[in-house]
Amino acid sequence: MHIDPFMIKNEYQEFVHAQSMQPSLLLESRLKQRLKLIKSPWPVFFKLTCIHLVSGFLSLLVCPQFGINPLGGAHGLMHWTMAYGPLFCAFVCGALFFSLTACMVALFVRGAQRQLIKQHQLWQFSLLAVLSYAGLMLVSSVLSAVSVSLFFSVFWILGAVVGAQVIYRLLDTVGTFVVTGK
């Protein structure tokens, strides 16, 4: 299919010089409401949290966090990561726990919401990591008597935040490249 550049220029000139029409007040108010919702990071954070609940449960099948393992018994990847010490294990487990979330967000969130996550990803992933850590500690205290050190906790949260951001940025960059070729 051949596109005539002169035709595009003429159409553009017609568009620029065309009479503007005023949108209806109802349409304008609905559009403004929608834009306000899109600009707010909280609905997007709620969606991110819902995605994380699903992906967090799935990651527990592979790497039990603080003794929580829905299938029971196995140590999952912890067997290999503990060989390098508990702080390395904490960092890797936190990163794994949130990397799956970042992958699912990159797959299922589109458009303006994706841009909002990109703009606010540091505080959103950090808040979600702290909330997840608190939830995992609460559940593990009920299921088993797991106690962890402050350094372990910091490394787990740090791994979660770093892992999520690295994976999300990588997938966002790859996705943008695939879609636009740039």
At 36 the pLDDT is: 61
At 8 the pLDDT is: 63
The structure's pTM equals 0.70
> Hey, where are the domains in the chain?
41-180
User: How many CB atoms neighbour CB 136 within 10 A?
Assistant: 20
At 117 the pLDDT is: 86
Per-residue pLDDT of the chain (182 residues; tens, 9 = 90+): 556 655 666 776 776 677 676 667 777 777 666 666 566 788 889 999 999 999 988 887 777 777 666 665 566 666 778 889 889 988 988 998 899 999 998 888 887 788 888 888 899 999 999 999 988 888 877 766 667 788 888 999 999 999 999 999 898 888 766 656 66
Q: Which of 45, 156, 35, 48 is nearest to 103 (CA)?
A: 48
At 166 the pLDDT is: 93
At 70 the pLDDT is: 61
Tell me the backbone φ, ψ of residue 144, rounded to 5 degrees: -155, 160
Query: Where are the alpha helices (H) located in 40-146, listed in sequence order?
Result: 41-60, 78-81, 86-108, 111-143
What are the DSSP calls for 51-71, one per residue? Answer: HHHHHHHHHHTTS-BTTB-TT
In one-letter notation, the amino acid at residue 14 is: E
In one-letter notation, the amino acid at residue 150 is: L
Q: pLDDT (tens digit, 9 = 90+) per residue, 127-176?
A: 999 999 988 888 877 766 667 788 888 999 999 999 999 999 898 888 76
At 148 the pLDDT is: 76
**What SS3 class is residue 124?**
helix
Q: Residue 82: CB partners within 8 Å, gap ≥ 6?
A: 89
